[in-house]
Structure 1
Amino acid sequence: MTAVDVDVAVVGAGPIGLAAAIEARLAGWSVVVIEPRSFPIDKACGEGLMPGAVDALARLGVHPPGAPIAGFRYTDATRSAEHRFAGGSGLGVRRTALHDALAARADQLGVQRVDARVSDVVQHPDGVTVGDVRASWLFACDGLHSTVRRLVGLERPPIARVDRRRFGLRKHYVIAPWTDLVEVHWAADAEAYVTPLDGGLVGVAVLGPPRTDFDEVLTRVPELRARLRQADAVEGLRGAGPLRQRSSARSAGRVLLLGDASGYVDALTGEGIRVGLAHARAAVEAIGGRGVRQAAAYDRDWSRVSRDFRVITSGLLAAAQSPLRPLIVPAARAMPSLFGAAVERLAR
């Protein structure tokens, strides 16, 4: 294989990797994306884009097809609370459709692709070598179980206490969306997220502890079970996790961690793509300076753009894994202003 010399190497061609590649090309950098999987790349996720994510994609020239999302509805067996976005709407987009739109834009801008799996990262004073790719900077966008994060010594082990790991499971159903809201159905120990999608589909994602049974959770959500009783699933079950991932820092020399690779709390609040897109923009802005000292700027910006997500999601997750869990929906209903303020804060 011929060696490739570029300004930026991106490891991982998921949505955040492709977005980072697009950001770097728009800034005038030469870019290669390193990815062994075939396109389009799918993933078990809720597939709802917050309004801020829709705006961020539009700034990159990416306009995926999808179903409008007007807000969120939290519901349990007896009550519900909902909030509609104050300005602009979100979008329910199948992950493969989002990936297709990002890949097309990356191709349009001349992003190179290398079909390879990363097994080593070698840093030099003025760059990074990954296999046959030499780059001034490396963006690690290789997901929850990031190989690059481990190779550069930024892996942080989970806290060894009670097993609080959570996993995500997802199916698509052929049924016309019955609402323009993302519905979050709260069961005793799991949540079912329902996202309206384009083409007469809804996506159902279940989040729960190890060994969560997707179909069993649906049996405990009567409203959702009744709606899906006559609907066909269009594909098999897809899973991801454990969701909680930690890193000791977001950069090491000329390697920057973006998106899930940089650390992840949980999918409870649904804005992973929005935050990852903000990481991509911050990373490209950081390397616009000179030398590895710019990595420190990225660490600061990473903290700034991730703060709301981490604080609100961590708080909600702590409540969801405590005796307070049954009070989450009643509290949202009793304090609509607070519920709405949290949704709006995350949405933008």
Structure 2
Amino acid sequence: MSGVSGARAIRRQHQDIAERPFQDAVSVTAGGLRARWLIAADGLHSPLRRHLGVHAHHGGLRRFGIRHHWYVRPWTSAVEVTWGPHAEAYVTPVAADQIGVAVLYRPEQSPAAAAQHAYDALLSGFPALRRRLADATAASPVRGAGPMPQRPERRVVGRVLLVGDSAGYEDALTGEGISLALAQAQAAVDALLADAPHRYERQWHRTTRRYRLLTRGLVRATTRPAPRALLVPACRAAPTLFTGVVNQLAR
């Protein structure tokens, strides 16, 4: 066995172990480690969640995200969002010479294609942004994820607690992933310190309620062309209302 193929076999073996935790009355073992509890924060399509037999509903609206990093000097210090007829483009400063550009969309409203071609096609719907990137070079491969709505039936399975995207997700529209994950991690730790993991389930619902209701409502409201076309003009005409919604999401 060559060094490369051997390393791949080892990685696959460790990944297989990590995805199949073993639980008994007092501990859980995964990846060769044994502990009293396991917090699973392994992403949107959590392999651990699937292994534990936790079904996740996807909701009625399937949305996907696709992103690419570019070498270009950022022209803004904030996250810049551009709304198109069917998709949104998000520009995020990453470094002094680099930005990330992500597009959120519904697959039925974009051409079926490989990741790079799909990204190029989606970006063509934002001509001003496309012109800004005309001379930029790629800083990463194109990456995507979806469908974004993930609603697991539960988040506590014996001695395993789901945290972050694996615990449930609505949409990237409001950009709260990291803050929600940190709040959930705190709730999980508090529950485990009290030796009461069942408390985490209740606290998860309290912690994420505002995000879930507001984000689900915004996504549903903007799936129809008329409300979507009116959203940005309405926010411009009622800045106080817009600020209030943003502040609610930021709490």
TM-score strictly above 0.5: yes
* Counterpart check, 1:280 vs 2:174: no
The answer as to whether partners of 2:163 and 2:185 remain within 8 angstroms in 1 is yes
Secondary structure in 2 matching 1:194: strand
Q: Does 1:345 align with 2:248?
A: yes
For residue 188 of structure 1, what is the aligned residue in structure 2?
85
Q: Following superposition, which runs of at least 4 residues in structure 1 exceed 4 angstroms of deviation? A: none
In the TM superposition, residue 181 of structure 1 has moved relative to its aligned partner by: 2.1
Query: Is 1:144–2:44 an aligned residue pair?
Result: yes
Equivalent positions of 1:13-52 (< 5 A) are none
TM-score, normalising length from structure 2?
0.85
Correspondence list, 1:17-96, <5 A:
none
Picking from 25, 29, 34, the partner of 1:129 is 29
Q: Which runs of 5+ in 1 are unaligned?
A: 1-35, 38-113
Is 1:327 the counterpart of 2:230 in the alignment? yes
Specify which of 297, 312, 317 is matched with residue 199 of structure 2: 297
Contact 1:195-1:204 at 8 Å conserved across structures: yes
Q: 1:303 Cα shift?
A: 1.4
What are the Cα deviations for residues 217-266 of structure 1, in whole angstroms up to 9, with x where unaligned? Answer: 22221221221112222222111222111100111221111000001101
State the TM-score, normalized to the length of structure 1. 0.62
Equivalent in 40, 63, 68 of residue 171 of structure 1: 68
Aligned counterpart, 1:88: none
Residue 333 of structure 1 and its aligned partner are, at CA, apart by: 1.2
Name the SS of the counterpart of 1:276 in structure 2.
helix
Once residues 237 and 252 of structure 1 are traced to their aligned partners in structure 2, the CA distance between those partners, rounded to angstroms, is: 34
Task: Name the count of aligned residue pairs.
Answer: 231
1:236 aligns with 2:236: no
Structure 2 gap ranges (5+): 1-10, 112-117
Cα distance in structure 2, aligned partners of 1:334 and 1:302: 35
Residues 181, 320 of structure 1: alpha-carbon distance in 2 compared, 3 angstrom cutoff: same
Secondary structure class of the residue paired with 2:15: coil
Match of 1:70 in 2: none
**Whole-angstrom CA distance in 2 between matches of 1:171 and 1:330:** 28
2:160 to 255, 267, 283: 255
Which structure would you say has the larger RCO, counting Cα contacts within 8 Å and 6 or more residues apart? 1
Structure number with the higher helix fraction is: 2
CA RMSD across the alignment: 2.0
Which residues in structure 2 correspond to 1:96-115 (within 5 Å)? 115=14
What is residue 114 of structure 2 aligned with on the other side?
none
Identity %: 48
1:116 and 2:15 are equivalent in the alignment: yes
